[in-house]
Amino acid sequence: MLPAATDYYRLLPEILAAVFGTIVMLLEPFLRREHKAALSWLGMLGAAAALGAAVLVRSDAGPAFFHLIQADPFTFFLRLLIYATALLVMLAARAYLDRENLPHGEFYALVLLGSVGMGVMAAAAELVTVFIGLEISSLSTYILASYRREALRANESALKYFLLGSFATAFFLFGVALVYGATGTARLEQVAEGVASVLLLKLGLALVFIGLAFKVASAPFHVWTPDVYEGAPAPVTALLSTAPKAAAFAVLLRIAGTVLPATLLWFWVLWGSAALTMFVGNLAALVQSNVKRMLAYSSIAHAGYILVALAAGTEAAYAAALYYLAAYALMKLGAFTLVAHLAGRGERRLTLEDYAGLARREPVVAATLSLYLLSLLGLPLTAGFLGKFYVFVAGLRAELLGLVVLAAVNTLLGAYYYLRVILYMYFREPDPTYEHAAREPVPAGTGLVLAATAAGTLLLGIFPGHLMRIAELAAASFR
Amino acid sequence: MTLELVLFIVLAAVAIAGALSLILARHPIRSALSLIVVMVALAGLYLLQGADFIAAVQVIVYAGAIMVLFVFVIMLLNAGEEERTSWSRMARYAGLPLAIYLTVQFAWWVADGASALALPAAPAESEPTRRLAQLLFREFVLPFELTAILILVAILGTVVLGRRES
C-alpha cells in the first residue's frame, strides 16, 4: 500500500509550488545583488504553474493519499484563489521590496512555500494533515510579518502574532486529539460514524473552532489582527488578509459541510461569532485615522459577513461564502497594494490626512482606491455588492432573519468609514503646511496588480455567473 | 491496587507537580528544568501503556534535544526573572480562578466522556513500533513528508530573521 501516481497527480499544484519555492531559495545565493529581483519571475512562474496544475487536475477529481486529501471542486476553487493571490502578491511585492531595500529571494520562497501549506489546508480531508498545512502556512506568515526587521513596530506586532498564533495552534491540536479520542479517527468523513463519546467530540470540535477562528480573525479571537496588519509590510498584509484567511475558512467550511455533529454544534457559535465579529470590526474601524489599520478592522468585519453564510449552513450559503472570499480577496489585495504604494518609503504616509486632496494630485489612483472602497462597502455593480447579496439571500432562505438584519445594519456602519476616505480624497483640501511626498509613478508590477484587481472587482460585480457556477459546484462537493 | 495503578498515580503526580512548577517558577531556567520533569514523567506514562518506542522518542527528542535548545536560548538571551507589573498581578486575581475553574471543568468533561469511550483493545501483536512505522510511512506518509516543508520554512525563517543589518 504505497501512494500511486494518481495520488501525486492530484496533489500536483502543491508539489509544483513547493518545487519552485525550493528552487527560488536555492538559486538566491548564486545571484548577484542586482539580479536578485529577477527571482520574482521565477516565483510568479511557480504560482502560475500551480494555477495551471489546479486547472489540469480539475478533471480528475477524487481522493488521494489514502483519503487524507480530496481533490474535489471545492479544493479547485480554493487553489485558484490561493495561488492567484500568491501570484499577485509577488507581482506587487517586487517594487515594494526594492523601495524598502529588503531581500527578494526569501520573500518569494516564503510566499510559495506558505501557499503550499494553504493549498494543503484547502485539500485536506483529515485533521492531522490540516494541522501540518496550517503550521506551514502560519510559520511562513509569522516570518513574512516580521520581514521589516529594522521597524520596531513591525517586530512587536510579529512577536504578538507568533505567540498568539502558537497558542491558537495548540487549541486546534488539542481539539484534534479529543476528536480522535472520541471517534477513533481524524478523517472528516468518518468522524460522525463511530462516535463513542458525544461530549468529548463536542469539546474537541469546540477547540478546533477556536483554533480556526483565530486564523480567520473572528471576534473574540481577533485581538492580534489590527496590530499585525498595521505592522506587517503592506504586501504581506495583503497576503495575510486574503490567502491564509481563505484557507482557514476552507477548513471551517469542509468541517461544517462534512461532519454533521459540527454543523449542529457550531450553529449558535457561528451565529454569535458572526454578530460579534461584524460589530467589533465595524465599530472599531469607525474611529481609526490610520488607513491601513482601518482596513485591518474592515477585514475583521468582512470575516463576520462570511461567518453569516457559515451559520446559514446550506449549500447555497457555502457557495455564497466562497464567492465572497474571492470578491473580498480581489478588493483587499488591490486596496492594500495601493496603500503600500501611497505610503512611500518606510510606510510613513498612512493617515487620512495624507489622503486629503489625493484626487487632484493623482486622479487615477484615487479613482481606483474609491472603487475598492465602494466594493468593500457593497455598492451595486461591484463584486462586494454581489458577495453581500448572495450571503444575505442565503441567510434569509435559511431563516436567519435576525442575523441578516444585523449584517445589513453593519453594512450601513461600514459606509461611514469607507466614504470618509473617499471624502478626504475628493473634497478635502490638504493642510497648506502639509509637505507632500514627491509624486511617485506607479511601478509596472503594482500597476498590473491594480489593473487586474480593479477589473476583477468590476467584472465579478457585473458578470458574476461564471465564478458563481464554479462556487456552486465547489459547495456541492460535500454532498 | 495493582502495581500499574500505583505507578500511574506516582508518575501522574510527578507530571502535574512539574507542570505547576513550570508555570509558577519566576525564573525561565527553572521553568525549563521543570518541563524536563514533565517530559520524563510522560515518557514513563507512555511506557506504562506499552508504547516503548514513543517513550524512548519522548526522552531523546523532548527531554533531550528540545530542552537543550530551550536552555540554550534562555542562556543566550540572558533572560532574568519575570517582572511583575500591575497587569500581571491582575492576571493572578482574575486569571487564576478562571484557570482553576477551566481545569476542573475540563477534567470533569474528559473523565465523563472517557467513561463512555469504547476504545478498541490494544492490538495483540507485540510490536507497536512496527505498527507505528507502518502508519507513519504508508497511510500517513503525506503529512510526514509535509513536515519536511515545514522544517524548510523554519530554516528559511532563521535565515531571514538572522541576517545582518544592511
Q: What is the ipTM of this complex?
A: 0.92
Residue B123 has pLDDT above 70, yes or no: no
Under 8 Å CB-to-CB from A118, ≥6 apart: which residues?
A: A78, A82, A133, A137, A243, A244, A246, A247
Computed over every residue of chain A, the mean pLDDT equals: 92
A149–B161 C-beta distance less than 8 A: yes
* CA gap B64, B67 in Å, rounded: 6
pLDDT in tens, A373-391: 999 999 999 999 999 999 9
Region A405-428 average pLDDT: 93
Q: Note the pLDDT of residue A294.
A: 95
Q: What residue of A is the nearest CA neighbor of B138?
A: A2
Lowest mean pLDDT among A286-295, B61-70, B150-159: B61-70
Show the cell assigned to A172.
Answer: 486546534
Region A456-470 average pLDDT: 93
* CA gap A115, B11 in Å, rounded: 43
Report yes or no: A211 and A168 within 8 Å, Cβ to Cβ: yes
Lowest mean pLDDT among A177-181, A349-353, A471-475, B87-91: B87-91
Q: Note the pLDDT of residue B165.
A: 65
Report yes or no: A278 and A222 within 8 Å, Cβ to Cβ: no
- Could you tell me which residue, A329 or A155, shows the higher pLDDT? A329
| Contact list, B114 vs chain A (CB under 8 Å) | 181, 197, 200
Task: Please tell me the distance in Å from A153's CA to the nearest CA on chain B.
Answer: 15
Q: How many A×B Cβ pairs under 8 Å? A: 110
Task: Please tell me the distance in Å from B133's CA to the nearest CA on chain A.
Answer: 13
Q: Note the pLDDT of residue A167.
A: 92
* CA gap A27, A91 in Å, rounded: 19
Q: Note the pLDDT of residue B87.
A: 74
Under 8 Å CB-to-CB from B126, ≥6 apart: which residues?
A: none
Lowest mean pLDDT among A41-45, A301-305, A422-426, B82-86: B82-86
- Alpha helix locations (H) across A101-242? 105-123, 127-145, 152-183, 188-191, 198-215, 225-231, 234-240
At B166, the pLDDT band (50, 70, 90 cuts) reads low
* CA gap A111, A43 in Å, rounded: 8
What is the CA A306 to chain-centroid distance, rounded? Answer: 12
Region A450-479 average pLDDT: 93
- Concatenate the DSSP letters of all residues of B58-81 into one string: IIIIIIIIIHHHHHHHHHHHT--P
A142–B156 C-beta distance less than 8 A: no
Q: What residue of B is the nearest CA neighbor of A100?
A: B166
Measured CB to CB, residues of chain B less than 8 Å from chain A are 106, 109-110, 112-114, 116-120, 138-143, 146-147, 149-150, 152-154, 156-157, 159-161, 163, 165-166
Q: Note the pLDDT of residue A440.
A: 78
At B130, the pLDDT band (50, 70, 90 cuts) reads confident
A117–B149 C-beta distance less than 8 A: yes
Would you list the domain boundaries of chain A? 5-478
pLDDT in tens, A109-125: 999 999 999 999 999 99
Show the cell assigned to A17.
Answer: 509550488
Show the cell assigned to A47.
Answer: 504560482
Q: Note the pLDDT of residue A260.
A: 77
Strand partners, A124: A69
Report yes or no: A408 and A392 within 8 Å, Cβ to Cβ: yes
Query: Which amino acid is it at A205?
Result: L
Q: Torsions phi, psi of B17, nearest 5?
A: -60, -45
Q: How many CB atoms neighbour CB A162 within 10 A?
A: 19
CA contacts within 13 A on the Cβ side of A43? 31
B120–A200 C-beta distance less than 8 A: no
Nearest to A139 among B140, B146, B157 (CB): B157
Residue A361 has pLDDT above 80, yes or no: yes
Q: Torsions phi, psi of A468, nearest 5?
A: -65, -35
Would you list the domain boundaries of chain B? 1-82, 85-113, 126-166
At A25, the pLDDT band (50, 70, 90 cuts) reads very high
Q: Which residue, among A197, A203, A205, would best test binding to B if mutated, counting the most B CBs under 10 Å from its CB? A: A197
Residue carrying C-alpha cell 517558577: B25
Q: How many CB atoms neighbour CB A38 within 10 A?
A: 14
Q: Which residue, among A20, A36, A139, would best test binding to B if mutated, counting the most B CBs under 10 Å from its CB? A: A139
* CA gap A183, A198 in Å, rounded: 9
Region A411-415 average pLDDT: 93
B116–A139 C-beta distance less than 8 A: no
Q: CA torsion A264→A266→A272→A273, rounded to 10°?
A: -160
A129–B143 C-beta distance less than 8 A: yes
At B122, the pLDDT band (50, 70, 90 cuts) reads low
C-alpha angle A133/B144/B120, rounded to 5°?
Answer: 100
Q: What residue of B is the nearest CA neighbor of A196?
A: B117
| Contact list, A200 vs chain B (CB under 8 Å) | 109-110, 113-114, 116-117
* CA gap B74, B82 in Å, rounded: 13
Task: Please tell me the distance in Å from A381's CA to the nearest CA on chain B.
Answer: 41
| Contact list, A181 vs chain B (CB under 8 Å) | 113-114, 117
Which of the listed ranges A12-26, A177-191, B41-55, B56-70 does the model predict with the highest average pLDDT? Answer: A12-26
What percentage of chain A exceeds 90 in pLDDT? Answer: 77
Lowest mean pLDDT among A459-468, B60-69, B106-115: B106-115
Task: Please tell me the distance in Å from A124's CA to the nearest CA on chain B.
Answer: 10
B117–A146 C-beta distance less than 8 A: no
At A90, the pLDDT band (50, 70, 90 cuts) reads very high
Lowest mean pLDDT among A16-20, A249-253, A394-398, B103-107: B103-107
At B116, the pLDDT band (50, 70, 90 cuts) reads low
CA contacts within 13 A on the Cβ side of A186? 24
Report yes or no: A48 and A84 within 8 Å, Cβ to Cβ: no
Architecture per CATH, domain B1-82, reads as Up-down Bundle (1.20)
Q: Note the pLDDT of residue B118.
A: 54
At B17, the pLDDT band (50, 70, 90 cuts) reads very high
What percentage of chain B exceeds 70 in pLDDT? Answer: 90
Q: Which of A168, A79, A180 is nearest to A128 (CA)?
A: A180
At A451, the pLDDT band (50, 70, 90 cuts) reads very high
At A335, the pLDDT band (50, 70, 90 cuts) reads very high
Q: How many CB atoms neighbour CB A221 within 10 A?
A: 22
Lowest mean pLDDT among A45-54, A115-124, A400-409, B86-95: B86-95
Q: How many CB atoms neighbour CB A401 within 10 A?
A: 10
In the DSSP assignment, the letter for residue A478 is G
* CA gap A327, A383 in Å, rounded: 5
pLDDT in tens, B19-72: 999 988 888 889 999 999 999 999 999 998 888 888 999 999 988 888 888 888
Residue B121 has pLDDT above 70, yes or no: no
Region A155-182 average pLDDT: 92
Residue A232 has pLDDT above 80, yes or no: yes
Q: What residue of B is the nearest CA neighbor of A22?
A: B152
Q: Which of A75, A54, A173 is nearest to A121 (CA)?
A: A75
* CA gap A232, A440 in Å, rounded: 22
Task: Please tell me the distance in Å from B160's CA to the nearest CA on chain A.
Answer: 7
At A441, the pLDDT band (50, 70, 90 cuts) reads confident
At A437, the pLDDT band (50, 70, 90 cuts) reads low
Nearest to B160 among A2, A68, A143 (CB): A143
Task: Please tell me the distance in Å from A333's CA to the nearest CA on chain B.
Answer: 24
